Structure 1
Amino acid sequence: MEIQIEALQIAESFNIKKFRSEFRSEVFSGSTSEVFYALTENNRYLYVFDYGVVVFANYDALAKSEFIQFVKNYATTLVNLDLCEEYQIVIDEKLPKVLVKNDYVTVPQIDSSLLRIVMLNIGQSVALEYYEVLTDDIITSSKHYILELENRGKLSISKTNLLKYIGKVLNVKNSIVDNLYILDDPNLVWDNEELNLLNRNLKANFDINPRFKDLDYRLQIVENNLTLFTDVLNVRESNRLEWIIIILILIEIVIALFFH
């Protein structure tokens, strides 16, 4: 027996509280930031995270499409990127223990808690991919201004546009930092050694921790670039003020000479 799992980055965030109140299914487990459903009547499982990720298990194409259209009503900003990840759970009763592979995990038996751990890690992996894309875009866009500083020794961008760019970068950076709690281990693994081992193996399989460290490093680069651009803007504004003061002094001297 196999269970097909697919995780999708649909939006930047979901209003989980409102979604839970209006989605007419009993919650298996959840919090203010996530909600997990075990729809046993049709052997489907669903995991929705407030950072814009939905994970499906045993959903056909039509059911996924219908739910995506529904959950978009609770999204803040839709993500127009094809970010998804597929995985499988293979049930083999002959196996003595869980075996994690690159694109599937084999288990001797399945329950909702085990399925939740698998779906959680796939959701984390897709979310990290989204943040990696955002950070890459920011670093790439900043290279243009850095090259301009290297070649011309100044920035041709206006103050307003530069402030808009800084604001955009800070907004993305804050969004990433606010949602890095996704890497926290769920409470249910603390008292269950088997689930804890499965969780650790899945994190290793999806390179969750190395990718987080790389993302953190890129965020440091972004922060350094912001500091540089802010310093350049301050210097430019200081120079402008100095010239204004000089011009005013010259005007005052000219006026004084004219009247004398």
Structure 2
Amino acid sequence: MTSEFKAIVLCKELNLNKISQHFGISRKYKWEDFLVLKGEQLQGIVNDTEDKIIYIFYFGSMVFINFQHHQIMDVVKYIKKLEPEINDVNVFAYEDDYKLEISPDETPAINNDYMIDSVPSDYQLDIVAIILAKSVSLEKNEIQVDTLLDRIENVVNNLNRGELGVSDEELAKMSANILSFKLNTISYIMLLDNPDITWSNEEAAALYDELSVVFELKDRYEKLRQKTEILLDITEAFSNLVHAKRGTRLEWAIIILIFIEIILSLYDMFFR
């Protein structure tokens, strides 16, 4: 038995309670929960619902099990009716694939692309989906932070030529983006938190820890944290330079005004 996973990021945040109510699920979802859709809940969206499962996470990620490309697009378009902020133009901008194979005849193995186990367990699908959802959402943040680093590098190059070339508004946006990355990584994606199932199931906890190492979640988080700290330091330096430049202009304006006042006083004294 083989389960094929496809994880994507659709937006910054998904309202699980709103989506679940639409599918007739009355449960109240907390921030750390995820929504699972399968069976009759998928009828009317895709033709064949057998062995198909969707995991939906608050932080904007969705994980599809045994879905074809066009079926994923059908689901995204359907969910967009409930969540208009979903980006359905470039659905696969951030994606990750994985395969879980249950085979008693093969040696158990776990790597970046697939996992082989001899015995199926209820928690396996959940753990793999959670890891993939976090990984692909983290990838989005990594790419966006690198893009911002490139923008900062251009500003530094301009500074080397004696041109600051950045306004207060741009600095404010940069700082907001950096803080947003930190918030999304820690609070939204919950990289530092283990799922609830790991607290009650030792095997689930062991699998979660092993997959976390395989996908380097903690190492990637640490690198992202360091990059955001560097970006914050640089933007703070830019902000100080902008304020110093503004202060210098103000001082020169005051000096010019005083000089004009002296000229006018001398004019009144000698020519009137």
Q: Please indicate, yes or no, whether the TM-score normalized by the shorter chain is above 0.5.
A: yes
Match of 2:153 among 125, 143, 158: 143
1:251: Cα distance to partner?
Answer: 1.8
Distance 1:15 1:201 in 2: 30
Q: Which residue number in structure 2 is paired with residue 91 of structure 1?
A: 102
> Kindly tell me: are residues 40 and 131 of structure 1, through their superposed partners in 2, closer, same or farther at Cα, counting changes over 3 Å?
same
1:207: Cα distance to partner?
Answer: 0.9
Q: Which residue number in structure 2 is paired with residue 168 of structure 1?
A: 173
| AA in 2 matched with 1:36 | L
Q: Note if 1:216 corresponds to 2:221.
A: no
Deviates most, 27-36 or 121-130: 27-36
Paired residues of 1:35 and 1:47 also in contact (CA < 8 A): yes
Match of 2:77 among 53, 69, 76: 69
1:40: Cα distance to partner?
Answer: 4.4
Distance 1:104 1:171 in 2: 37
Deviations 1:127-184 (A, max 9, x none): 11100001000110111111121232x3144xxxx22322322232222222223211
Three-state SS of the structure 2 residue aligned to 1:68 is helix
Distance 1:49 1:129 in 2: 16
Three-state SS of the structure 2 residue aligned to 1:13 is coil
| AA in 1 matched with 2:30 | S
Paired residues of 2:54 and 2:62 also in contact (CA < 8 A): yes
1:211: Cα distance to partner?
Answer: 0.6
Three-state SS of the structure 2 residue aligned to 1:36 is strand
Match of 1:118 among 113, 128, 139: 128
Q: Which residue number in structure 1 is paired with residue 252 of structure 2?
A: 243
Gaps of at least 5 residues in structure 1 are none
1:216: Cα distance to partner?
Answer: 0.7
| AA in 2 matched with 1:62 | H
> Kindly tell me: are residues 127 and 25 of structure 1, through their superposed partners in 2, closer, same or farther at Cα, counting changes over 3 Å?
same
Paired residues of 1:34 and 1:47 also in contact (CA < 8 A): no
> Kindly tell me: are residues 65 and 193 of structure 1, through their superposed partners in 2, closer, same or farther at Cα, counting changes over 3 Å?
same
Distance 1:89 1:30 in 2: 27
1:93: Cα distance to partner?
Answer: 3.5
> Kindly tell me: are residues 19 and 76 of structure 1, through their superposed partners in 2, closer, same or farther at Cα, counting changes over 3 Å?
same
Q: Which residue number in structure 2 is paired with residue 189 of structure 1?
A: 198
1:112: Cα distance to partner?
Answer: 4.1
Distance 2:120 2:70 in 1: 25
Q: Note if 1:58 corresponds to 2:69.
A: no
Deviations 1:201-226 (A, max 9, x none): 10011111111111011111111111
Q: CA-atom RMSD, angstroms? A: 2.4
Three-state SS of the structure 1 residue aligned to 2:161 is helix
Deviates most, 31-40 or 60-69: 31-40
> Kindly tell me: are residues 75 and 108 of structure 1, through their superposed partners in 2, closer, same or farther at Cα, counting changes over 3 Å?
farther
Q: Which residue number in structure 2 is paired with residue 7 of structure 1?
A: 7
Distance 1:57 1:125 in 2: 16
| AA in 1 matched with 2:79 | V
1:38: Cα distance to partner?
Answer: 5.0
Deviations 1:53-80 (A, max 9, x none): 1111122333211111122341546384
Normalising by the residue count of structure 2, what TM-score does the alignment of the two structures yield? Answer: 0.84
Distance 2:18 2:25 in 1: 15
Percent identity over paired residues:
24
Q: Which residue number in structure 1 is paired with residue 46 of structure 2?
A: none
Distance 2:174 2:255 in 1: 35
